[in-house]
Amino acid sequence: MALRGEGIHLLAPTVPLYVMQASAPGPTALIQAGIHGDEIAGVHALQELLEESLRPAAGRLLVVPVMNPGAYRARQRAEPGGLDLNRAFPGDATAERYEPRLAAAFMALVEEERPALVATLHESKKRYDPSVTPSFGQTLVYGVEPCPVVLQRVVDELNEARRSDEERWATLYYPVATSSTEVIVDAIGCVGTCVETWMGFPEQRRVQMHKQVVKRLLAAVGVLD
């Protein structure tokens, strides 16, 4: 099957997928946010990066800024009355419910594109503490061991650039069987991560942090310089 061309495609009526193709060959990266509707910093980070004309230097960059519009509008984890989209993978294209159908559309995209990197942007009310499970803010979570080398490298870079010790990042192994990240990594063997900022920081700072993480992840896999 031919890959989708440069431009905006719809995974669902209000779920745009932005496809950007560099002239130089390279890997494909797929970045997605808003799978949980109350975790808004990643959504706004991807929208701002698109407004700032983020483009791949090599390969392909695929961006889905708002994966779950109904949940985002409600500022709730799931759409009111709906399912947790991040527990609905790999989904079912024939399901009556919206979430398994959308998950299946996303999996079809992943199977076609075989991205080298899939990142999903989240936020966490709980600050990361290795002695508290679960706690995520702020971590690069992976669900299939071992920890991908690029994730540790990005965490090291983020910690070098952090404004204060409060902003420290860590990698975190936390498998969730039906989450987008783990199902996708199992299916195609890419680098997969769930990026979690801590909601205790001001919204603008969280948006900045997500933008930095996205740029560093894209650079680490060779899609950005």
Amino acid identity of 93? A
Candidates 97-105, 119-127, 133-141, 163-171: pick the segment binding Zn ion (CB under 5 A): 119-127
Q: Between residues 36 and 210, which has the closer beta carbon with respect to Zn ion?
A: 36
Q: Between residues 28 and 139, which has the closer beta carbon with respect to Zn ion?
A: 139
Q: Between residues 36 and 211, which has the closer beta carbon with respect to Zn ion?
A: 36
The yes or no reply on residue 36 touching Zn ion (CB under 5 A) is yes
Strands (E), 135-223: 139-142, 170-173, 191-198
Amino acid identity of 137? G
The pattern of x and - marking residues 74 through 113 that bind Zn ion according to CB under 5 A reads ----------------------------------------
The yes or no reply on residue 122 touching Zn ion (CB under 5 A) is yes
Distance CA 82, CA 99 (A): 8
CB of 38 to Zn ion, least distance (A): 8
The sign of the torsion formed by the CA atoms of 199, 200, 203, 204 equals negative
Candidates 29-37, 140-148, 171-179, 197-205: pick the segment binding Zn ion (CB under 5 A): 29-37
How many residues are listed for the chain in this entry?
225
Q: Determine the Cα angle at 42 with ends 38 and 45, to 5°.
A: 135
Alpha-carbon distance values, 213 to 9, 147, 155, 224 (Å): 25, 17, 9, 12
Q: Between residues 67 and 223, which has the closer beta carbon with respect to Zn ion?
A: 67
Q: Which two tokens stand for residue 156?
A: 């090291």
CB of 39 to Zn ion, least distance (A): 5
Interaction site with Zn ion (CB under 5 A): 36, 39, 122
